[in-house]
Amino acid sequence: MLSTDAPSHRSQQTTRAHNQALILAAAEEEFVLQSFRGATMQGIADRAGLPKANVHYYFKNKKNLYKAVLRSIIQEWNEGLVTMTVDSDPKTVIEKFVRTKLHQAFVNPNRHKLFALEVIGGAPHLHDFMSTTMKAWVHDKTQVMREWHKQGKIAIDDPLQLLILIWATTQRYAEFEIEIVGLMDKATYDAEDEARASEFLVPFILRGCGLE
């Protein structure tokens, strides 16, 4: 006999995932606009359209919620190089990474702004992550790029500088959105701006890697 509890359990899981997604999205905006110190659980609940008790139920307190937002941001960013190996084609990998980072900057600018604010503030909530997990991730990716260089596949012999360049050029579109749209005499980005950025940055970075 089939259990009648299964559909109910799936429904609870769906509701939980939906509510958590709403809360995380609302928290991103609240933390960007109000900073960690100024943000409140009530403000986040109001943005999410949920009772404050629901926010506390899923994340307990503001610090847990803030860390959950940061973890979701980092997980999304790291996916761009997750399948990178020594046997991968450097041109394909680097081009995909640049385009992915640009797309994330244009689609989710608040995520970049929040991460930048955390780092500018001394990364008090990310210090352990940056000194362990992030450092290991960077070491793994730069080791692959160094091997590419030894094999003559790329011209870059300092892959850390390449990663920093890609981060700086792609994330700036989000972090300094107001400055950039102002220089372009616009109020906001339009559908063509991401394509314009990609058409300039991708070949520029590939040429620097000797991958024209």
Question: Alpha-carbon distance 42 to 122, whole Å?
Answer: 26
Domain that holds residue 164: 63-208
114 pLDDT higher than 80:
yes
Contact 45, 30 (CB under 8 A): no
- 16 shares its domain with 106: no
Q: Give the pLDDT of residue 1.
A: 45
The CATH number that applies at residue 4 is 1.10.10.60
Question: Alpha-carbon distance 195 to 62, whole Å?
Answer: 37
- 149 shares its domain with 46: no
128 pLDDT higher than 90:
no
Residue 123 CA neighbour count, 13 Å, CB half: 11
Q: How confident is the model at residue 212 (pLDDT cuts 50, 70, 90)?
A: confident
Q: Give the pLDDT of residue 80.
A: 63
Name the domain count of the chain: 2
Question: Alpha-carbon distance 108 to 7, whole Å?
Answer: 34
**What does DSSP assign to residue 49?**
T
- 184 shares its domain with 92: yes
- 144 shares its domain with 195: yes
Per-residue pLDDT, averaged over 173-186, amounts to 95
Q: What are phi and psi of 62, to 5 degrees?
A: -65, -40
Per-residue pLDDT, averaged over 166-180, amounts to 94
Per-residue pLDDT, averaged over 19-27, amounts to 93
